[in-house]
Amino acid sequence: MSRKFFIHFIISFGSAVLILGCSQTPEKKSLTTEQKIDSLLSLMTLEEKVSMIHASSSFTSGAVPRLGIPEWTMSDGPHGVRKEHGRGWVGSESPEYFATYLPVGVSLASTWNPELGYAFGKVLGEEAKYRGKDVILGPGINILRTPLNGRNFEYLSEDPYLVSKMVVGYIQGVQDQNVAACVKHYLANNQETDRNTVSVEMSERTLREIYLPGFAAAVKEGGVYTLMGAYNKFRGQYCTHHEYLINKVLKEELGFDGAVISDWGAVHSTMEALKFGTDVEMGTDLSQGPVKDYGKFFMGDTVISLVKSGVVNESLIDDKVRRILRIMYRTKVIGGGDRGAGSFNTLEHQSAALKIAEEAIVLLKNEGNLLPLNKSAVKNVAIIGANASRKQGGGGGSSQVNAKYEITPLQGIEKMLFENVQVTYSEGYEVAKDSKPNADKIKEAVEAARKADASILVCGWIHGYTDLWEGNAYDAESVDKPNMFLPFGQDELISAVLKANPNTVIVIMGGGPVDMTKWIDKAKAVLFAGYPGMEGGNAIGKIIFGEVNPSGKLTMTFPKKLEDSPAHAIGEYPGKDNVVHYNEGIMVGYRYFDTKKVEPQFAFGHGLSYTTFLYENLQLTKGDNQSVVVTVTVRNTGNRAGGEVVQLYVKDMESSVERPAQELKGFQKVFLQPGESKDIIVTLGVDAFRFFDEKKMEWVLEPGKFQIMAGSSSRDIRQTKDIEL
Ligand code: BGC
């Protein structure tokens, strides 16, 4: 329903027109937003207020038409405006809703380029607005605790600092379009197994140092307008209505003044939701078919009776409505002002998708400089693997996007080739539930690879559909991966193809690591492509043939084996009796691998280039407020232009508590021409040196010596210097 339609309602209600800001009278114009909200609240009945704090359809919350307040319209997120589901849950296949499918969260973060976070958010915001959405349900920023989490692809990293840096641009890109971002899922939704029932137990230090910083940055630096409460419990209480996490930490400590939206169906109690911070209850009972009577929600009619009988004070409801109205004003959903029309599927959006994909793809291995391939020398190409021709945008659960188009790796690679080149495509494996190595398909692939002068195998995870796959959907919502081994007999295929043609380039798609131990020593060139969006095939083709120099870096450690990763080595997963203890504490991701000296397959921050970079002249200077200004010179010493992510790690040399061997505290991406050099200057604030002291319940900087390391990855440190603080 258009905003204009609602204007008809307000004509009959003069005072509301004035409050909503459509008046031209000067004294009314000078009302602050909070005063306007006060006036609106004073005009609203209890029933009207309550209608605004729960769903009115699958993706809207209630309107108050007589006051010109429209429904609040939401959509997933996080990497494209979701397939249209209308008021119920009937997916539309209408081309008018085909959207720009951006690289997924983990790919965006692999760019290590905050400017691309903004570009990404801008595309989303413009498309959301064009489609009449007020809130986009993203970014998803849960920490990648285990490689098995089915939703890792939607999230960003195992490292809270990297998450914090990437989330801000995304949020501002969306919100600059007058659309609210919704950071999710608050908090500790780090596994899909038992997500509706499991309670996460972690220490306060772990919360403060690892799981909270991304959300804190979203609120304090990104100014995020809305936040989604997670399905799971935290210390025994459901996250969506959590006295400590929402009332105390989010709203009081961090000063969040926007609205907390429940995950769909995540509210479990009227009183808890009212008291412990839920502002809008969303959801639907899919098992019963679309719920028609949204008044039956926990935050529906019951609330009216509770207020009328004096059990609940109406001020609690007012606070929730106030938060919603505040964001409606900020995004110009009400109150007049030009919200802008938005735009959809523009060439600019497509080129943003391509640029992000190009910077997201990570070159893991390149022995003997096998890559890039020289397209002039190629006459006969074997392209192998079901993922080469598989479109991925429509899968994965709530983040599904009906893409305007999706260039597959096969198409992208073919586009790079001269016309007379012979291309043989073989699937190599069958994407089907429980499918085993297929001897015929492997044989066909092996023959093609043997004859070819260039062989490219595109494999990895897929976005399955939970309903079809009964628990083996891999990168998808509501289930985790069963293990870290490639499904469908891909290990057998890769080994056989590498034997036939040792120069085969391996491209892995997916939301995270795979166990490569069976073949990695035989592979010369490996790319990790994530899910690179609708332009992903083009980006893969350009990187393979050297039109683009890869500059992506891993945002998570790739363990050799699942058992090597901390949640599986010393923590619990997926927990027992609906409780999961994060016993690994702050030792998440590389913090664990580096402190406990466990050799990863590929380290956090790793990513090669077709050129080389020299680091020199690291200098540290003390700044104000216990900050340190770091300067390091980086030079492109190869013969190609390229991008490097200069990473700064900090180690506390003497500490009264256990601290990680090193922690990322700064980074900068830089693009250099051959021979060019640049001074990278990064200020490490006091936060870079502190830890959360559980006894004092505050952040503490223990005076002493700190080591600052500048590197090309967490395991490729090029320059080191100490400083006394
Ligand atoms: C997901 C959310 C999503 C919501 C609405 C839930 O199942 O966990 O991330 O935004 O559905 O689709």
Same domain, 130 and 206: yes
As a whole number, mean pLDDT of residues 328-341 equals 96
Indicate which residue's Cα is closest to atom 4 of ligand 1: 264
- pLDDT tens-place string over residues 305-334: 999 999 999 999 999 999 999 999 999 999
**CB of 184 shorter than 6 A to ligand 1:** yes
- pLDDT tens-place string over residues 206-232: 999 999 999 999 999 999 999 999 999
pLDDT band at 3 (very low <50, low <70, confident <90, very high): very low
Q: Is the pLDDT of residue 58 over 70?
A: yes
Q: Is the pLDDT of residue 9 over 50?
A: no
Same domain, 549 and 656: no
Please check whether residue 343 lies inside any domain of the structure: no
Closest CA to 374 of 503, 497, 498: 503
CA of 73 to the centre of ligand 1 (A): 14
**CB of 554 shorter than 6 A to ligand 1:** no
Q: Is the pLDDT of residue 285 over 90?
A: no
- pLDDT tens-place string over residues 531-563: 999 999 999 999 999 999 999 999 999 999 999
Q: Is the pLDDT of residue 281 over 50?
A: yes
Please check whether residue 587 lies inside any domain of the structure: no
pLDDT band at 6 (very low <50, low <70, confident <90, very high): very low
Same domain, 366 and 295: no
- The mean pLDDT value of the chain amounts to 94
Return the DSSP state at 455. E
Indicate which residue's Cα is closest to atom 6 of ligand 1: 264
pLDDT band at 505 (very low <50, low <70, confident <90, very high): very high
Q: What is the CATH number of the domain that holds 713?
A: 2.60.40.10
For residue 467, the model assigns a pLDDT of 65
CA of 281 to the centre of ligand 1 (A): 12
Indicate which residue's Cα is closest to atom 12 of ligand 1: 398
For residue 91, the model assigns a pLDDT of 82
**CB of 137 shorter than 6 A to ligand 1:** yes
Q: Which residue has the tokens 């061997």?
A: 661
- pLDDT tens-place string over residues 636-656: 999 999 999 999 999 999 999
For residue 262, the model assigns a pLDDT of 98
Those residues with Cβ within 8 angstroms of residue 307's Cβ, 6 or more apart along the chain or in another chain: 46, 313, 314, 317
Same domain, 271 and 369: no
Same domain, 276 and 134: yes
Q: Is the pLDDT of residue 86 over 90?
A: no
Same domain, 36 and 176: yes
pTM of the entire structure? 0.96
pLDDT band at 284 (very low <50, low <70, confident <90, very high): confident
For residue 471, the model assigns a pLDDT of 73
Same domain, 517 and 619: no
As a whole number, mean pLDDT of residues 42-64 equals 97
Q: What is the CATH number of the domain that holds 217?
A: 3.20.20.300
For residue 395, the model assigns a pLDDT of 85
CA of 285 to the centre of ligand 1 (A): 13
For residue 92, the model assigns a pLDDT of 84
Element (H, E) at 370: none
Active site residue 263: yes
**CB of 398 shorter than 6 A to ligand 1:** yes
Same domain, 515 and 423: yes
Q: What are the φ/ψ torsions at residue 76 (nearest 5 degrees)? A: -70, 150
Please check whether residue 575 lies inside any domain of the structure: no
Please check whether residue 604 lies inside any domain of the structure: no
- pLDDT tens-place string over residues 62-74: 999 999 999 999 9
Those residues with Cβ within 8 angstroms of residue 656's Cβ, 6 or more apart along the chain or in another chain: 702
Rounded distance, CA 53 to CA 40, Å? 15
Q: Is the pLDDT of residue 502 over 80?
A: yes
Please check whether residue 354 lies inside any domain of the structure: no
pLDDT band at 10 (very low <50, low <70, confident <90, very high): very low
Indicate which residue's Cα is closest to atom 7 of ligand 1: 264
- pLDDT tens-place string over residues 571-591: 999 999 999 999 999 999 999
**CB of 652 shorter than 6 A to ligand 1:** no
Look at the chain and report how many structural domains it folds into. Answer: 3
CA of 481 to the centre of ligand 1 (A): 19
Q: Is the pLDDT of residue 238 over 70?
A: yes
Closest-lying ligand 1 atom to the alpha carbon of residue 397: 7
**Is 104:156 a contact under the CB 8 Å cutoff?**
no
For residue 94, the model assigns a pLDDT of 87
**CB of 155 shorter than 6 A to ligand 1:** no
Same domain, 240 and 101: yes
Q: Is the pLDDT of residue 24 over 50?
A: no
Catalytic position from the list 76, 134, 159, 263: 263
Domain that holds residue 92: 3-330
**CB of 59 shorter than 6 A to ligand 1:** no
- Give buried/exposed letters for 133-151 (b at 16+ CB in 10 A, else e): bbbbbbbbbbbbbbbbbbb
As a whole number, mean pLDDT of residues 397-404 equals 92
Rounded distance, CA 188 to CA 572, Å? 14
Same domain, 325 and 372: no
Indicate which residue's Cα is closest to atom 2 of ligand 1: 263
**CB of 76 shorter than 6 A to ligand 1:** yes
**Percent of the chain, pLDDT > 90?**
89
- pLDDT tens-place string over residues 656-711: 999 999 999 999 999 999 999 999 999 999 999 999 999 999 999 999 999 999 99
Q: Is the pLDDT of residue 628 over 70?
A: yes
Rounded distance, CA 487 to CA 514, Å? 10
Q: What is the CATH number of the domain that holds 457?
A: 3.40.50.1700
Please check whether residue 276 lies inside any domain of the structure: yes
Secondary structure (3-state) at 185:
strand
CA of 394 to the centre of ligand 1 (A): 15
For residue 13, the model assigns a pLDDT of 45
Same domain, 311 and 412: no
CA of 287 to the centre of ligand 1 (A): 16
Same domain, 542 and 640: no
**CB of 58 shorter than 6 A to ligand 1:** no
Indicate which residue's Cα is closest to atom 11 of ligand 1: 264
Please check whether residue 289 lies inside any domain of the structure: yes
Q: Is the pLDDT of residue 504 over 50?
A: yes
Please check whether residue 661 lies inside any domain of the structure: yes
CA of 441 to the centre of ligand 1 (A): 37
The residue among 517, 540, 556 that closes a domain is: 556
